[in-house]
Structure 1
Amino acid sequence: MAISEMPADLLGGHRQVLAECAATGRSPDRAALEACRAAGTRAAELGISVRALVVAALAAAEDLPPVLPALRRLISALMEGYEQAQLAAIRGEEAARREFVDDLLQGRAERLAERAEHFGLRLAESYVVAVARGMRDGDEERIERDLIARFGSHNVLVAVRDGLLVCVTPATLPAAVGEFTHHVRSRFPAGWRVGVGRAHRGPGGVVTSFREAADALGLADGLGLRADVVKAADLLVFPVLLRDRSAIEDLVTTVLSPLLGARGGHEPLLETLEAIFASQGNQAAAARRLGLSTRAVTYRLERIRRLTGFSPDDPTQRFTLETAVLGARLLGWPAGFSH
């Protein structure tokens, strides 16, 4: 915007203040400085460039005797008001962005399409949500800034929800999830974990992907998984198991209850079964996982067979045993059972 296009009253009193300062040799008083800050704020709100604002302020002093000290203070006040207005606008945008993401994750649809367009979200596309647990104060802002710097604000939405750091990205941009995980790994303290939902279309799909990602963290905890990154797509069988809690409880109780009376407790036997399943039935590999001899593993498996009547060597019985063990871990057997 040129000087001639500025509102006439924007710097209306500026020349008079400079003239008084030149005549008296005094610096601008507080009222004059506050007026300049207000003018700077208004200039920012009107979209006037910093360059045009400074040129206009300098032009007001062209025909006056030397007023450099006063002019310096007045321009400083102008810039302070301008910068405060810009900072307030940025903070307002950040607050609106976080409110939008929060509404999106909760499925609140009020003006969602209009607001989504403002933030570059194309509701007809598919999105993936990743969540991270274990963040500290300040992690959200730093990670959001880094992700936006690489992928652009229209491709990444970051917010905090239910104590989790949430990242929403288009399914067509898988690198964004990897970058999110990289920043979590480098900034979060030990014990962090990332859950990744599946790709789903539209605003409802964002909610679904978010819930899948959060549930993946809970499943990983219940199953004692060691992986730092868990994907809902890799854990699809477990929600199926949990849909009929009564049936899975009955299976666990029927198959595993005989282990409760084992000498040394049931836990070493469950750990042995988990190691066997993770090693695809290879007893030597399972022994290495457990830090035991192969003979000790063989002995434990025989005890399991005698107590339960099920053997992991039989394909059908192995499936029953593995399902029961998974159900036991998910439901916190035996303490977490209702009967």
Structure 2
Amino acid sequence: MADQGIPDASLDGYVRLLAAAAATGRRPTRDELDSRRAVGERAAEAGHGLRALVGAHLDATRSHWPATGSPDSVLAAVAQAVDALAEGYERAQRLAVRQEEAARREFIDDLLYGRSDLGLLAQRAEHFGLRLSFEHAVAVAQGTVAYDEGDAVLREVERALIGRFGDRSILLTTKDGRLVCVAPGDQDEVLAFFAKQAFAAADGCQVAIGRPQPGAGGVVQSYEEALNALNLAERLELDAPVLRAADLLVYPVLTRDRQAMADLVRSVLGPMRDARGGAQPLLDTLTAYFEAGCVGAEAARRLSLSVRALTYRLERIHHLTGADPSDPVHRYTLQTAVIGARLLDWPSVAL
């Protein structure tokens, strides 16, 4: 065994290389350099350090320094041999990194899409620090630009998470241009911190957090909930920086029967199409009115209208639809129809 744990076989042919350089003054041949590259690759694959490998070769150089010949030729041969060692070592490391990245990406795809056998997926998850027998929740951050694995935003958020929580079985990655964080379901503070850091690093992105779900399939469910929350936010123009799927459960219920919702929108809001300027201004009025808690002054401020103009619009809505927005009996029907219209993109899309 060579010094520093390097196998003796790693030095095979090296002493002959030195002797040939000293005797003839020639440089190492291609085969000799390829042999050193192969030694470097095997050392990297075996987990030996490059410093130890080079040190073993330098020790062998001192021990077997040729008694005759040109020192310059020997030193030149040593330099080329060490360079070949490093080249092979780095090549093996790059290959290992690419293989690890490919395995990680394949695992993430299988984890978030549920395309693999759940038992095997749970086994693979342990390699990446996840124990899928427990509950997990997923947070998804979506910005104005797409993110990938090499993005500086991902690295910044990752450093912040590790600095705050250390190794807590957290998986941080990107998927379809979004930042994704998977964390144990009982550690909501991790996802809340992720949301805060992503919002700061990505210049105002929006983050959705799915509910904790058990098992390997639970990660998929939580991920899909987060994606659906982002989709709802876009359709309903929800601008909150952090959305929680648990707070938005009513919307999937409302759209589960699309035909029934379309009928409600047509029957309740359809008459507003006859208004001057169409239905959209009146729909915007109802949206602002309900979002303001049915406070006329606040709704008028949001719409940049006078209170009198807002009151006129509400009266016009009452006249066209027969439903009074200020009447608690009518309000629920109107508000549900307004939500349905926004979910179905009415009146831009015909129902």
Same-fold status (TM-score > 0.5)? yes
Partner of 1:21: 21
Aligned partner of 1:72 in structure 2 is 79
Contact 1:27 1:69 in 2 (8 A): yes
Map Cα deviations across residues 166-214 of structure 1 (whole Å, 9 max, x no partner).
Answer: 3322223434434544554456577x43322111111111111111111
1:60 matched residue in structure 2: 60
1:262-302 deviation per Cα after TM superposition (whole angstroms, max 9, x unaligned): 11221111111111111111111111101111111111111
Q: Which moved more, 1:64-73 or 1:229-238?
A: 64-73
**Does the 8 Å contact 1:101/1:158 carry over to 2?**
no
In structure 2, the partner of 1:327 is 340
Is the contact between residue 147 and residue 156 of structure 1 (CA under 8 Å) also seen in structure 2? no
Task: Give how far 1:55 is off.
Answer: 2.3
* Structure 2 match to 1:282: 295
The question of whether the paired residues in 2 share the 8 Å contact of 1:143 and 1:180 is answered with no
Amino acid of the residue matched to residue 40 of structure 1?
G
Q: How far apart in 2 are the matches of 1:154 and 1:24?
A: 60
- Residues 161-176 of structure 1: pairs in structure 2 closer than 5 A: 161-176=175-190
**2:147–2:174: 8 Å Cα contact kept in structure 1?**
no
1:154, CA displacement in angstroms?
6.4
8 Å Cα contact 2:149-2:174 kept in structure 1: no
SS at match of 2:207: strand
Aligned-partner Cα distance in 2 for 1:90–1:84: 10
Letter in 1 for 2:65: L
State whether structure 2 residue 126 is matched by structure 1 residue 113.
no
Superposition deviation, residue 155 in structure 1 = 2.6
Residue 102 of structure 1 contacts residue 159 of structure 1 at CA under 8 Å; is this kept in 2? Answer: no
Q: Report which stretch shifted further, 98-107 or 132-141.
A: 132-141
Measured in 2, the distance between the counterparts of 1:137 and 1:129 equals 17
Distance 1:2 1:337, change over 3 A: farther
Larger CA deviation: 103-112 vs 154-163: 154-163
Is 108-117 or 213-222 further displaced after alignment? 108-117
SS of the residue aligned with 2:61?
coil
- Give the TM-score, by structure 2 length: 0.87
| Kept in 2: contact 1:140–1:158 (CA 8 A) | no
Residues 95 and 154 from structure 1, CA distance in 2 versus in 1: closer, same or farther, beyond 3 angstroms?
farther
Bigger drift between 72-81 and 205-214 goes to 72-81
Matching of residues 1-339 of structure 1 within 5 Å: 3=3, 6-62=6-62, 63-65=64-66, 66=71, 67-110=74-117, 111-133=120-142, 134-136=144-146, 138=148, 141-149=151-159, 150-151=161-162, 155-182=169-196, 184-185=198-199, 188=202, 192-338=205-351
Q: CA deviation at 1:102?
A: 0.6
Counterpart amino acid of 1:107? G
Q: Which amino acid aligns with 2:320?
A: L
AA paired with 1:155? Answer: S
The residue type equivalent to 2:57 in the other structure is: A
Q: Distance in 2 between matches of 1:163 and 1:138?
A: 6
Matches of 1:209 and 1:188, distance apart in 2: 22
Q: Cα distance, 1:4 vs. partner?
A: 8.2
Q: CA RMSD in A?
A: 2.5
Maintained 8 Å contact 2:15/2:60: yes
Unmatched tracts of structure 2, length 5 or more:
none
Post-superposition shift, 1:68? 2.6
Flag the 1:59–1:167 CA change in 2: closer, same or farther, 3 A.
same
Equivalent pair of 2:213/2:219 in contact (CA under 8 Å)? yes
SS of aligned partner of 2:254: helix
- 1-structure distance, mates of 2:88, 2:191: 39
Q: Deviations over 1:137-177 (max 9, x none)?
A: 64655455445544367633244444544332222343443
Evaluate the alpha carbon distance shift between residue 143 and residue 122 of structure 1 in structure 2; reply closer, same or farther with a 3 A threshold.
farther
Q: Quick one: structure 1 residues 304 and 137, their matched pair in 2 at CA, closer, same or farther if it must change by over 3 Å?
A: closer
Q: How many residues are treated as equivalent by the alignment?
A: 337
Alpha-carbon distance in 2 for matches of 1:128, 1:137: 21
Q: Is the CA contact (8 Å cut-off) linking 2:4 and 2:56 kept in structure 1?
A: no
Paired residue secondary structure (2:183): strand
Is the 8 Å Cα contact of residues 148 and 156 (structure 1) preserved in structure 2? no
Give 5+ residue unaligned stretches, structure 1.
none
Per-residue CA distance 1:217-266 (angstroms, 9 max, x = gap):
21112112223433212211100101111221121111111111011221
